[in-house]
Structure 1
Amino acid sequence: MKNKAHEELELKAFHRYKNLELSEIKDLIIKDKWLNSLKNALENKILKRINAFISALNGIISSYSNSLLELDQEVKESESKVLEHLRDLGLMG
């Protein structure tokens, strides 16, 4: 239910809209309505791309989380295990 003040406000707004200049109409439609919607849509798209990029970077970081020194140490440990097994098999002196 609308009260009297609300109805009067709607009537004043209606009469004001009838008397708007073309430039005022463009401002209301383009700047106030479409521009904000476009800005919000672009911000959302950009944020989604940034988040996808961050996620991809985190995946790369976790894939390469071992440092070169750690990897070198793992290789040396594996190498000595292989040599030990070869000695046990009598293939190394």
Structure 2
Amino acid sequence: MSVDPPPGGFAGPVKRSITIAGHETSITLEPLFWQALEEASRLRGLPLSALVAEIDALRIDAKNPPNLASALRAWALADARRVVSQDENYSQ
């Protein structure tokens, strides 16, 4: 069994400015996470800023809220796992 690098290889974090809840903030994520969030927003018919705002609202309501970048990474991974699980259930 071998391990492969992610598509596009390994890349360091990229900082982007985004407006959520009426204020601009900077978020630093690896390109793979930005791509996952962009795809999730596209599939939901939302602007990226709207998806980030929804995730931010969920994060704020959490018992011990993480920082926004951590919440976005966790959400993106969980969303990808949901998609894989749905695909597996659909193909059975």
Q: Would the TM-score normalized by the shorter structure come out above 0.5?
A: no
Bigger helix share: 1
Q: TM-score, normalised by structure 1?
A: 0.30
Bigger strand share: 2
